[in-house]
């Protein structure tokens, strides 16, 4: 039984800007068509870099949601977040003029924040021989990770809890988890939650290259993101944003919400306390986060039908995440569907949890499991059903989305089908 008489929290709107689609519907269609977001880097000249490709957002037009003057005062990650938020709000049908705005909040995280802004301002400083007279007064507001949540709150006049989470690749899963806890304790009725990232830039690519974390498959970028495959050689950088509207079921019913994608049922948050970048052996921290998540959702391991895996396409993560799943689920691990949508979108770092949570609730809603593309050669250490290359039809009553970040952060989020 649940430990407390918490309100039911439901997902009523989704918005996404991703490398395989600039709306949530296009993103879903892309996953159902095994789309591939990888290609040569166009945002800067990457000729001298070890990795010269990424999963960039394509044909993005910020002017669909933001006026031109405002875009000049926002980093790209903030623009992505505002677009995703606007689409999530529209999808939900919410009219914020008819709700108590003091009980409506925003948590939108970013793992790194305005890295492009820092790049341009630092370049400006160098070009002026260290003279700071051309540093923009908007530099700091454009740089800081919390500014996206601030802009979204200002846009809609939302005066409830508002901040950003920062926990590397677990960032936006933590934003979802925090919002759930805030609503469970009764401090908000409705929240916009998610994450945004835009670090396909020289220091972003160069920094992860120096760690040997990125794939260097420059001769075939579209096959580079290959989670759980024996030939994987690192992750592929992605960019974009995902935002969900979540609210208490009572609030959704009272306002006549037309869509309920699913129930945000449980969370599990842990840390490895092992290494700044490598996962603990056997995915020990991930084991605990999944167990806590299942317990929090008042479920058993056998109730989980699908896992949207962290699945980064790195040697360490994929092996240890697979081991963790087998530890938690035992024989059931081999009958579940497991997939990594990073095979299609690349790794969006702080936005990964948000777009993958959206993928998870859409999988539940449509009874379809997105695939792990580029899966051609099984790895003996990764011996589960990773839904290779094409989606499959499968009823899903409960699913988990995993994200794990540098620093040892582990976040597992459970969604259930809405049966109202």
The tens digit of pLDDT for each residue in 262-284 reads: 999 999 999 999 999 999 999 99
DSSP labels, 131-177: -GGG--TTHHHHH-TTHHHHHHHHHHT--S-EE---BTBTHHHHHHH
Helix ranges (DSSP H) in 166-312:
171-184, 202-210, 249-254, 284-296
Query: Is 310 noted as a catalytic residue in this protein?
Result: yes
Look at residue 3 in the predicted model and tell me its pLDDT.
61
Does 213 score more than 90 pLDDT?
A: yes
Instruction: Retrieve residue 92's tokens.
Output: 């939900």
CB proximity list for 399: less than 8 A, separation 6 or greater: 304, 305, 306, 307, 308, 360, 363, 364, 414, 415, 416
Mean pLDDT in residue range 59-68:
97
- What band does 4 get if pLDDT is binned at 50, 70 and 90? confident
Helix (H, G, I), strand (E, B) or coil at 1: coil
Query: Is 174 noted as a catalytic residue in this protein?
Result: no
Mean pLDDT in residue range 14-37:
98
CB proximity list for 271: less than 8 A, separation 6 or greater: 285, 407, 408, 409, 410
Instruction: Retrieve residue 75's tokens.
Output: 């980093």
| Catalytic entry in 151, 251, 310, 409 | 310
Look at residue 5 in the predicted model and tell me its pLDDT.
86
Phi first, then psi, for residue 181 (nearest 5°) are: -65, -40
- If residue 243 lies in a helix (H) or strand (E), which one and from where to where? strand 240-248
Look at residue 1 in the predicted model and tell me its pLDDT.
41
Identify the structural domains of the chain with CATH numbers, from first to last.
9-254 (3.40.47.10), 267-416 (3.40.47.10)
Question: Which residues on adjacent β-strands are paired with residue 262?
Answer: 11
| Catalytic entry in 55, 65, 151, 169 | 169
Of 115, 180, 121, 170, the C-alpha closest to 144 is: 115
Query: Is 334 noted as a catalytic residue in this protein?
Result: no
| Catalytic entry in 201, 347, 409, 414 | 347
Look at residue 420 in the predicted model and tell me its pLDDT.
78
């Amino acid at each position: 039984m649940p430990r407390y008489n918490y309100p039911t929290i439901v997902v009523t709107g989704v918005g996404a800007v991703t490398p395989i689609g600039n709306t949530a519907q296009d993103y879903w269609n892309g996953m159902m068509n095994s789309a591939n977001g990888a290609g040569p880097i166009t945002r800067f000249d990457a000729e001298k870099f070890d990795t010269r490709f990424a999963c960039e957002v394509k044909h993005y037009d910020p002017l669909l949601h933001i006026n031109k003057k405002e875009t000049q005062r926002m980093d790209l990650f903030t623009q992505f977040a505002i677009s995703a938020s606007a689409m999530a709000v529209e999808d939900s049908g919410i009219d914020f003029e008819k709700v108590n705005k003091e009980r409506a909040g925003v948590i939108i995280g970013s793992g790194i924040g305005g890295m492009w802004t820092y790049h341009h301002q630092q370049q400006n400083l160098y070009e002026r021989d260290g003279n700071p007279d051309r540093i923009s007064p908007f530099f700091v507001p454009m740089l800081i990770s919390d500014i996206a949540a601030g802009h979204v709150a200002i846009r809609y006049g939302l005066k409830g809890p508002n901040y950003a989470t920062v926990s590397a690749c677990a960032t936006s899963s933590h934003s979802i988890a925090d919002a759930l806890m805030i609503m469970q304790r009764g401090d908000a009725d409705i929240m916009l939650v998610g994450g945004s990232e835009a670090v396909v830039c020289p220091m972003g690519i160069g920094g992860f290259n120096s760690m040997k974390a990125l794939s260097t498959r420059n001769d075939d970028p579209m096959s580079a993101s290959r989670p759980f495959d024996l030939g994987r050689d690192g992750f592929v950088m992605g960019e974009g944003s995902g935002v969900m509207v979540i609210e208490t079921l009572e609030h959704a019913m009272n306002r006549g919400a037309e869509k309920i994608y699913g129930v945000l049922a449980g969370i599990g948050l842990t840390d490895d306390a092992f290494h700044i970048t490598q996962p603990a052996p056997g995915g020990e921290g991930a084991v605990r986060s999944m167990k806590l998540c299942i317990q929090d959702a008042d479920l058993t391991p056998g109730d989980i039908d699908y896992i949207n895996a962290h699945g980064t396409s790195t040697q360490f993560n994929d092996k240890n995440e697979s081991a963790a799943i087998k530890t938690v689920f035992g024989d059931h691990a081999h009958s579940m569907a497991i997939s990594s949508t990073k095979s299609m979108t690349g790794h969006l770092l702080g936005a990964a949890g948000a777009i993958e949570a959206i993928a998870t609730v859409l999988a539940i809603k449509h009874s379809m499991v997105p695939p792990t593309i580029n899966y051609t050669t099984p790895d003996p250490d990764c011996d589960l059903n990773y839904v290779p290359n094409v989606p499959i039809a499968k009823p899903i009553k409960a699913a988990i989305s995993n994200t794990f970040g540098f620093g040892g952060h582990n976040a597992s989020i459970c969604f259930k089908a809405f049966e109202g």
